Structure 1
Amino acid sequence: MGETLFLAHRVPFPPDRGDKIRSFHVLRALARLGPVHVGTFDDRSGYGDEFLTGIAASHHLVPARKRDMIAAAEAMAKGQPVSLAAFANDRLHEWVAQVLHYRPIDAIYVFSGQMAQYVPPHFPGRVVLDLCDVDSAKFEAYGNAGHGPKAWIHAREGRLLASAEERFARAADTTLLISENEANLFRTRVSNMHQIDLRVMRNGIDANFFAPDAVKAEPTLYGPGPNIVFTGQMDYAPNVAAVERMAQRILPAIREVHRDAEFHIVGRAPTPAVKALGKHAGVTVWGEVPDVRPYLAEADIVAAPLTIARGIQNKVLEAMAMAKPVLLSPEAATGIDAEDGVHFAVAEGDRMMAGRALALIDDRAKARAMGEAARAFVLEHQGWAAMLSGLGELLRPSLADPVRDAA
């Protein structure tokens, strides 16, 4: 391969949240194929420049995306989705133009739809658009579930972003989504699939890192339990809703039978609403921790009671790789071709969620067997090497490539 331009809406390091885990592994795979140039936005992690200097032939790191209010004002004035306005940056546009002019760029890998605005309409090489999931559907769901001005804003975002996603997919050579469910959802939201090459590239898991024997046991980390754990970015609305559901409705039903049952919320940037859950009996909000693995290792159950979930949930794969029984909603199970009752436990409503938790608590042998089966499933089906094995072919020009529409 020649050289690749990689555009991402968030610096792919450290790989400590869903999209950054995927972009981190994709970027590493691209760097193994040939020189890669990276344009991205910092997220104040403090690691961006050092990481990019070590992996990229060149890079441009925008200090921060626009503030929400500024992006919203620009989006309203221009009739754009706020998601695009937030990541519009003149200097990054200039840097992209310079890279394409001076370097032999054969392919552009666009990570997340917000970055498709940087691809020139007449770029002659390959363009791969990795949408990951259908963001417009998420905003549409927010709009349907909410009320007042915020619901109107979310509905507007869902509508305009859906149009942009279709336009960008037509301009790309190949569009990637994270699961068959997301791909099927995308198909229902476009006018037609003419000139859209839609494929699935699932998320993987580093099963050597997330492994039961990769961390030292910390038996005093929690109380006697049973201990139920949720991990994730705790300023992300679906995660906030999930832990509120667990703390307020599911845990109390479990504690009616097991008075010592505890729920642990592990993840950075907890909102005030999440922190307030720590006042509930049996709930501990840990916030950001240096390493999530010990908190998974000492869990009796890992829970993911999400009601809005796009793509594949890394938190579920991580817990499965740690050989833990995972209690999850149907939404959180989408995109993972595992078997309910064997590799994890799927429950739809609050009562069923509590019932399946109690069954796992009361049958430790079954819970242990489920965890062992979960890890075996991850080892066989979900490794990153297998997931990214076709990446090189996606970026190579083909004589059968269709002519792209201009964006």
Structure 2
Amino acid sequence: MGDILFLAHRIPYPPDRGDKIRGFNILKYLSRKKRVHLIAFADRSEDLKRKGGLAPFTGNRSIVWRSKPQLAAGVQSLLTHRPVSLTSFQNESLQQSVDNILARHAIDTIFVFSGQMAQYLPARPRQRVIMDFVDMDSAKFEAYAQSSKGLKSWMFAREARLLQQFERQVAARADASLFVSEAEAALFRKRTGAERVYAVENGIDTEFYDPAAQFKRIDSMGPLIVFTGQMDYRPNVEGVEWFVRTVWPHIRVSHPDVRFAIVGRNPTDAVKALGKEPGVVVTGEVADVRGWLAAASVAVAPLKIARGVQNKVLEAMAMARPVVATGDAAQGIDHGGTIRVGSSVGEMAEAIDELLSDPRKAAELGASARERMQQRYSWDARLAPLDELLGLTGRSAGRSTAAA
């Protein structure tokens, strides 16, 4: 039995943002089955200092610093007729690391985490290839194109078109293509005609995300609405902008003392500007998001563009917080009615107002949400389908449309 080579577009440690959380938990799960060699990019110096945290789960680790300027990647994309998503991650040093591992070790499975890394697969892989697309990135860029104008719209439409062609080609070569939700998997099958497409959902660590756990708490000083996320990520930025400009004024009419906290690292100038609005707080990076979630009267996910499963929603539910989310942010989560969903300004404002006005009802909804997470979303349960896809059960993965 051979080893696993795990390729990741971002070092999956520390698990402090959506993609790294999924990557880390998959890596950890796989390491209990076989020896795993990790090759990944790093784009934050802090992550390089803490990469030793992956030692218990990996054999060889090769972390390559990703520093290609976006402009250079864009020019390269135009010259080579390739998606910017690929040229941004094209790197000779990382390719050499892949070649060395494949030459020196008996690798029987290559696990590719995120589509950008599929360009490092051998032309004709002798190994089993598991391609975790997570989300359908081409559909995300298509949505960007539809919400943009002029040159930006053209650039995003080009990226969507080229990326979908690449996704189709990769899926044809992979033994299994994974997505974070059945909705994403179904969309991918419809758009590409691909087979061997499976849904492997995200989980949540309900012992860590537990309102009764030990963590630094904050004084909310009154009703508090909380949004968490990486605040230089376009869907998050547009989501909080939409919320503050449209929903927030309605809420403050009924609850003038309520505050809205935007919690997450690297807030853009546009996000920082929201902090000038009455009652809005922009925290920037925090050491532990649990303190803010525990203090929240309501957690919101007002995303207008969202793919797959939102970890921010799972985390708030596990922390027993009442959640109000748009339909896009709630898609892919089997919440069983334990969160409120409203995509229009009126629906979002009404749901939030109701929960702020009735703390007892809010607490009951939060408790139901946590119970749902405990029953449905443990990482071991969500990742168990990988055993069959990796050939560890003695059965073929077959052509099932979902492995969830």
* TM category, shorter: over 0.9
Q: Secondary structure at the match of 2:52?
A: helix
Q: Secondary structure at the match of 2:119?
A: helix
Normalised by the size of structure 2, how large is the TM-score? 0.95
Provide Cα deviations, 1:181-202, integer angstroms capped at 9, x if missing partner: 1011112211x33xx2001100
User: 1:401 & 1:132 partners in 2: Cα distance?
Assistant: 19
User: 1:72 & 1:344 partners in 2: Cα distance?
Assistant: 40
User: 1:401 & 1:366 partners in 2: Cα distance?
Assistant: 44
Q: Do structure 1's residue 5 and structure 2's residue 5 form an aligned pair? A: yes
User: 1:323 & 1:94 partners in 2: Cα distance?
Assistant: 46
Q: Do structure 1's residue 61 and structure 2's residue 60 form an aligned pair? A: no
Q: Do structure 1's residue 208 and structure 2's residue 203 form an aligned pair? A: no
| Deviation, structure 1 residue 55 | 2.9
User: 2:382 & 2:8 partners in 1: Cα distance?
Assistant: 19
Name the residue aligned to 1:304: 301
Q: Secondary structure at the match of 1:129?
A: strand
User: 1:235 & 1:6 partners in 2: Cα distance?
Assistant: 27
Name the residue aligned to 1:46: 46
Stretch of structure 1 that moved more, 9-18 or 210-219: 210-219
Q: Indicate if the aligned counterparts of 1:277 and 1:283 stay in contact, CA closer than 8 A.
A: yes
Name the amino acid aligned to 1:386: A
Cα distance 1:299–1:71, how it changes in 2: closer, same or farther (>3 A)? same
1:274 corresponds to which of 268, 271, 286: 271
User: 1:112 & 1:240 partners in 2: Cα distance?
Assistant: 22
User: 1:399 & 1:188 partners in 2: Cα distance?
Assistant: 27
Name the residue aligned to 1:130: 132
> Can you give the 5+ residue segments of structure 2 that lack an aligned partner in the other structure?
399-404
Q: Do structure 1's residue 30 and structure 2's residue 30 form an aligned pair? A: yes
| Deviation, structure 1 residue 4 | 0.5
Identity rate, percent: 46
Name the amino acid aligned to 1:296: L
Q: Do structure 1's residue 163 and structure 2's residue 165 form an aligned pair? A: yes
> Can you give the 5+ residue segments of structure 1 that lack an aligned partner in the other structure?
403-407
Provide Cα deviations, 1:51-89, integer angstroms capped at 9, x if missing partner: 344432112211114221111111110000000111111
| Deviation, structure 1 residue 217 | 7.1
Matches within 5 A, 1:35-114: 35-48=35-48, 49-114=51-116
Name the residue aligned to 1:405: none
Q: Indicate if the aligned counterparts of 2:225 and 2:298 stay in contact, CA closer than 8 A.
A: yes
| Deviation, structure 1 residue 45 | 4.3
User: 1:134 & 1:65 partners in 2: Cα distance?
Assistant: 25
| Deviation, structure 1 residue 127 | 0.4
Q: Indicate if the aligned counterparts of 2:391 and 2:397 stay in contact, CA closer than 8 A.
A: no
User: 1:259 & 1:318 partners in 2: Cα distance?
Assistant: 27
User: 1:386 & 1:399 partners in 2: Cα distance?
Assistant: 19
Name the residue aligned to 2:237: 240
Q: Secondary structure at the match of 1:320?
A: helix
User: 1:211 & 1:53 partners in 2: Cα distance?
Assistant: 27
Name the residue aligned to 2:280: 283
2:225 corresponds to which of 218, 224, 228: 228
| Deviation, structure 1 residue 29 | 1.1
User: 1:145 & 1:97 partners in 2: Cα distance?
Assistant: 41
Matches within 5 A, 1:378-389: 378-389=373-384
Q: Secondary structure at the match of 1:128?
A: strand
User: 1:217 & 1:104 partners in 2: Cα distance?
Assistant: 45
Cα distance 1:400–1:279, how it changes in 2: closer, same or farther (>3 A)? closer
User: 2:363 & 2:395 partners in 1: Cα distance?
Assistant: 52
1:358 corresponds to which of 328, 350, 353: 353
| Deviation, structure 1 residue 384 | 0.3
User: 1:140 & 1:330 partners in 2: Cα distance?
Assistant: 18
Stretch of structure 1 that moved more, 24-33 or 300-309: 24-33
2:145 corresponds to which of 130, 143, 156: 143
Count of aligned pairs: 395
Q: Secondary structure at the match of 1:189?
A: helix
- The alignment yields a C-alpha RMSD, in angstroms, of 1.6
User: 2:67 & 2:35 partners in 1: Cα distance?
Assistant: 26
